[in-house]
């Protein structure tokens, strides 16, 4: 039995009994022949939700990002992305290794402006510059604390991108959370982008899977890159059934995670001298920094918390991340904050 309060990530959720039942009775076929009914249903549904012509199953969000980069760039190109984006920090250099591109990180706190994109885009006629061909936006932004990008700025960014002949990619692994927090429809958030990635394995609580959505021709290109990377699967309907179940039953409960994250952050900030900007606590992620006066570093604090049954992640030498999800309730989040407050008072 697992009694720890696990706030390391929203990926630690386990399939519920109902989700497992949906998986067990899933209609399946060979997805490499396009014959998996559950995957076809999921792809159609997600394409509709995101307002795109087509969508493609990917085994992970990391592969979705890699396939998107391969589909929208050429080796030697430069990609402009938000500072500390997942593609630059959490994919083991996959952008360089798999797509042969370099990432130029801009902005602050997960956000950047259209003017910053314009300044970062290298002029094409200059002999020595790499060609900037893509702008990548992450919404919500993980390392910045799950912040939602203002859609007005996203529209301005993508307008500048069009003018400068850059493609636009949205890493929306947690776009569901952005939609809930902003009250804006998924297709509105996705509209300015050529390709959009979403994940089923984060707040939605499915055991795996992501999807890329976009125009039919571009998704056909992505399909070939997926196959080349070894991401084309067979009776994938078992996974797709879990994702369909998550869309039916877990999407609507995301506001609970957001409220729990806020309660956790509020309790922590009220009780301990951590650096925690409550303005960043917009969804299900809480990122905070240890005060200079505190003698332990983040990994040490996390180890002490673990000994008391609370699991959080060291995100830097003095930075800690906690994420709420469907396997932790309000009382557990408050208890976890209480344990951290006590440790920080020592």
Ligand X SMILES: *Cc1c(COP(=O)(O)O)cnc(C)c1O
User: From the CB of 265, what's the least distance to ligand X, in Å?
Assistant: 19
Contact 193, 38 (CB under 8 A): no
The window from 59-67, 122-130, 211-219, 333-341 that contacts ligand X (CB under 6 A) reads 59-67
d(CA 44, CA 38): 10
Rounded-to-5 percentages of helix, strand, coil across the chain: 45, 20, 40
Binding status of residue 313 toward ligand X by CB under 6 A = no
| Helices then strands, each counted (H, E), the chain | 14, 12
Q: What is the C-alpha to C-alpha distance for residues 84 and 199, in angstroms, rounded to an integer?
A: 19
Contact 181, 282 (CB under 8 A): yes
Q: Which of 71, 133, 142, 284 binds ligand X (CB under 6 A)?
A: 142
Preceding omega of 140 cis (within 30 degrees of 0) = yes
Interface with ligand X includes 60 (CB under 6 A)?
A: yes
65 is an interface residue for ligand X by CB under 6 A = yes
- What tokens appear for 302 in the block? 């996390």
Q: Are 131 and 75 in contact (CB under 8 A)?
A: no
Give the residue, chosen from 201, 240, 260, 282, that forms a contact with ligand X under the rule CB under 6 A.
201
Tell which one of 138, 194, 223, 257 touches ligand X (CB under 6 A): 138
Q: Does 38 bind ligand X (CB under 6 A)?
A: no
Residue number, nearest CB to ligand X:
61
Of 16-24, 61-69, 297-305, 335-343, the window that binds ligand X (rule: CB under 6 A) is 61-69
- Please select the residue that binds ligand X; options are 13, 39, 43, 62, rule is CB under 6 A: 62
**Tokens standing for residue 54:** 């087509």
Closest CB 61 distance from ligand X, rounded Å: 2
Minimum distance, C-beta of residue 26 to ligand X, in the bound complex (Å): 20
Residue closer to ligand X (CB basis): 65 or 280: 65
Strand, coil or helix: 268: helix
- Subset of residues 224 to 253 that bind ligand X, contact rule: CB under 6 A: none
Site string for ligand X, 71-100 (x = CB under 6 A): ---------------x--------------
Q: Does 261 bind ligand X (CB under 6 A)?
A: no
Beta-carbon count within 10 A of 258 CB = 20
Alpha-carbon span 219 to 59, nearest angstrom: 15
- Residue 261 near residue 281 (C-beta atoms within 8 A): yes
Out of 117, 199, 320, 343, which residue is the one contacting ligand X (CB under 6 A)? 199
Tell me which residues touch ligand X (CB under 6 A). 60-62, 65, 86, 138, 142, 171, 173, 199, 201, 210
């Amino acid at each position: 039995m697992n009694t720890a309060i696990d706030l390391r990530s929203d990926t630690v959720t386990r399939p519920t009994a109902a989700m497992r039942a949906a998986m067990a009775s899933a209609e399946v076929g060979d997805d490499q022949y396009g014959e998996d009914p559950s995957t076809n249903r999921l792809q159609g549904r997600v394409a509709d939700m995101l307002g795109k012509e087509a969508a493609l199953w990917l085994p992970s969000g990391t592969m979705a990002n890699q396939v998107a980069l391969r589909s929208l760039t050429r080796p030697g190109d430069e990609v402009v992305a938000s500072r500390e984006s997942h593609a630059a920090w959490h994919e083991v250099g996959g952008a360089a290794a798999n797509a042969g591109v370099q990432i130029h990180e801009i902005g602050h706190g997960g956000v950047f402006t259209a003017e910053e994109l314009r300044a970062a885009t290298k002029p094409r006629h200059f002999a020595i510059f790499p060609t900037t061909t893509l702008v990548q936006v992450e919404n919500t932004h993980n390392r910045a604390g799950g912040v939602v990008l203002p859609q007005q700025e996203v529209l301005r960014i993508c307008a500048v991108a069009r003018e400068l002949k850059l493609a636009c990619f949205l890493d929306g692994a947690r776009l569901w959370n952005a939609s809930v927090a902003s009250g804006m429809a998924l297709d509105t958030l996705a509209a300015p982008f050529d390709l959009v990635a979403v994940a089923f394995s984060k707040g939605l609580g499915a055991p795996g899977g992501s999807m890329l959505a976009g125009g039919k021709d571009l998704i056909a290109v992505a399909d070939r890159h997926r196959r080349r990377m070894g991401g084309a699967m067979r009776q994938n309907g078992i996974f797709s059934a879990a994702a369909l179940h998550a869309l039916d039953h877990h999407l609507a409960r995301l506001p609970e995670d957001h409220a729990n994250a806020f309660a956790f952050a509020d309790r922590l900030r009220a009780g301990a001298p951590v650096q925690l900007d409550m303005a960043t606590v917009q969804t299900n992620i809480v990122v905070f920094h240890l005060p200079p006066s505190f003698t332990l570093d983040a990994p040490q604090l996390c180890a002490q918390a673990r000994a008391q049954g609370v699991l959080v992640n060291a995100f830097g030498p003095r930075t800690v991340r906690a994420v709420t999800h469907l396997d932790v309730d309000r009382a557990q989040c408050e208890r976890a904050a209480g344990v951290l407050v006590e440790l920080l008072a020592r």
